Amino acid sequence: MTDEPFPRAADNERALNERAVAEYWDAAADAFDDEPDHGLRARRTRQAWERRLRSWVPDGPCDVLDVGCGTASMSLLLAGAGHRVTGVDLAPRMVGQARAKFQDAGLEGVFLVGDAAAPPIGDRLFDVVLCRHLVWTLPEPEAALRRWVGRLRPGGRLVMVEGRWREAGQSAVPYVAGADALPWHGGVTARRLTAAVSPLVAGVRVERLDGEADLWGGPVSDERYALIAVTGPVTDEPGDGAAGALDDHPVGS
């Protein structure tokens, strides 16, 4: 008989935190799509996101990894445009809704329950990694950025829709214990995120989104933006969009 090591306290704490996060978002799943920019039920909102995604993602068809996919509204738009989508979310009920959406739409997609910061995708590589409204929830966001960039093919794109806001999800229910200590709790400014991503990629651009009310179902007053980064080598081949023109244009402070 051999002695097995006891689990480390840090491992136990991480497991408890992951369980609490999964339970929070599972409880939010039924009402998640009620937010205009989550469910994209209004045609104007859906079309506004379709236009933005077309400008951020190469013509394709591309392999897209949607980290923290939630109910897969973004994934659904991308699959409808002909891209091959894999989504990852920690909350099983979110993943269940994502799969149901794709089945109802007659589209193909792969959706996995797992940690979006360390996606359970083996050694697969992608043309695009998409992240929307996620990094504020992560205990080690900069480590997640490195992992996501590492999942991109040469010339691939990291597309992040982020901002500075109050917590999402269940507005009447506080987020998990200890959330105030998260590095980017409440969101991250474009300037700070640009500084974190730039050393990992060949080029970055930032687009302000807070002035486009159709994206959110109405006017917003907080900072919202998209960061689009491209890995090297940068090419100007058809389907690679304007990757060669991705320069640093940070906003915010």
pLDDT band, residue 9 (cuts 50/70/90): very low
Predicted confidence at residue 14, as pLDDT, reads: 55
Predicted confidence at residue 173, as pLDDT, reads: 63
Predicted confidence at residue 172, as pLDDT, reads: 52
Mean pLDDT of 84-95: 97
pLDDT at 2 over 80: no
Predicted confidence at residue 5, as pLDDT, reads: 45
Q: 63-67 and 84-89 as β-strands: parallel, antiparallel, unpaired?
A: parallel
Residue pLDDT, tens place only, 12-47: 445 448 888 999 999 999 999 889 889 899 999 999
- The pTM of the full predicted model, rounded to 2 decimals, is 0.84
CA atoms within a 13 Å half-sphere pointing along the CA-CB vector of 114:
16
Q: Under a CB-based contact definition with an 8 Å cutoff, are residues 168 and 113 in contact?
A: no
Give the chain's mean pLDDT: 86
Q: Under a CB-based contact definition with an 8 Å cutoff, are residues 115 and 134 in contact?
A: no
Q: How far apart are CA 145 and CA 135, in angstroms?
A: 9
pLDDT at 117 over 80: yes
Give whole-number Cα distances, 216 to 41, 188, 193, 210, in Å.
11, 18, 21, 9
Q: How far apart are CA 246 and CA 109, in angstroms?
A: 29
Predicted confidence at residue 177, as pLDDT, reads: 81
pLDDT at 51 over 60: yes
One-letter-per-residue 3-state SS of the chain? CCCCCCCCHHHHHHHHHHHHHHHHHHHHHHHHCCCHHHHCCCHHHHHHHHHHHHHHCCCCCCEEEEECCCCCHHHHHHHHCCCEEEEEECCHHHHHHHHHHHHHHCCCCEEEECCCCCCCCCCCCEEEEEEECCHHHCCCHHHHHHHHHHCEEEEEEEEEEEEECCCCCCCCCCCCCCHHHCCCCCECCHHHHHHHHHHHCCEEEEEECCCCHHHHCCCCCCCEEEEEEECCCCCCCCCCCCHHHCCCCCCCC
pLDDT at 247 over 80: no
Mean pLDDT of 51-58: 97
Q: Under a CB-based contact definition with an 8 Å cutoff, are residues 74 and 50 in contact?
A: no
| Bond prior to 233 in cis (omega within 30° of 0) | yes
Residue pLDDT, tens place only, 151-182: 999 999 999 999 997 544 445 567 888 788 89
Predicted confidence at residue 166, as pLDDT, reads: 53
pLDDT at 239 over 60: no
Q: How far apart are CA 2 and CA 242, in angstroms?
A: 59
Residue pLDDT, tens place only, 184-235: 999 999 999 999 999 999 999 999 999 999 999 999 999 999 999 999 874 4
